[in-house]
């Protein structure tokens, strides 16, 4: 259940006692859209977040996209690159330098 997309609204909850087990289980998936960490220890959450192969990590919050100015990033088979208003404009436009000597 932790590595396959179930048919229907299912929320698997896996109690983990060792940090390395959590990271191993989470990174084993071929997908990497978002992860959620529930803890009171902000420093530990940041450390674990850097080890997760996902596009975004939320601490003590449910999974959601977030404000439009935040990029929507997927990793592995959960997407290529990032999405969002700014990222979309950047991917559809090209910078050009114009120098005017008067």
Give the pLDDT confidence of 61-99 residue by residue, as tens digits.
Answer: 877 666 555 666 777 777 666 666 777 777 778 877 777
Q: Which of 3, 29, 50, 68 is nearest to 37 (CA)?
A: 50
Q: What is the pTM of this model?
A: 0.63
pLDDT, tens only, 23-38: 998 899 888 878 888 8
The answer to whether 64 and 35 have CB atoms below 8 angstroms apart is no
What per-residue confidence (pLDDT) applies to 24? 92
- Write down the pLDDT at residue 50: 92
């Amino acid at each position: 259940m932790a590595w396959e997309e179930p048919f229907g609204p299912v929320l698997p909850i896996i109690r983990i006692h060792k940090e390395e087990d959590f990271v191993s289980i989470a990174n084993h998936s071929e997908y990497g859209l978002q992860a959620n960490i529930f803890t009171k220890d902000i420093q530990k959450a940041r450390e674990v977040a850097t080890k997760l192969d996902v596009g975004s990590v939320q601490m003590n919050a449910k999974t959601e996209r977030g404000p439009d100015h935040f990029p929507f990033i997927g990793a592995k088979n959960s997407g290529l690159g990032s999405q969002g208003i700014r990222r979309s404009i950047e991917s559809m436009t090209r910078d050009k330098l114009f120098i005017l000597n008067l």
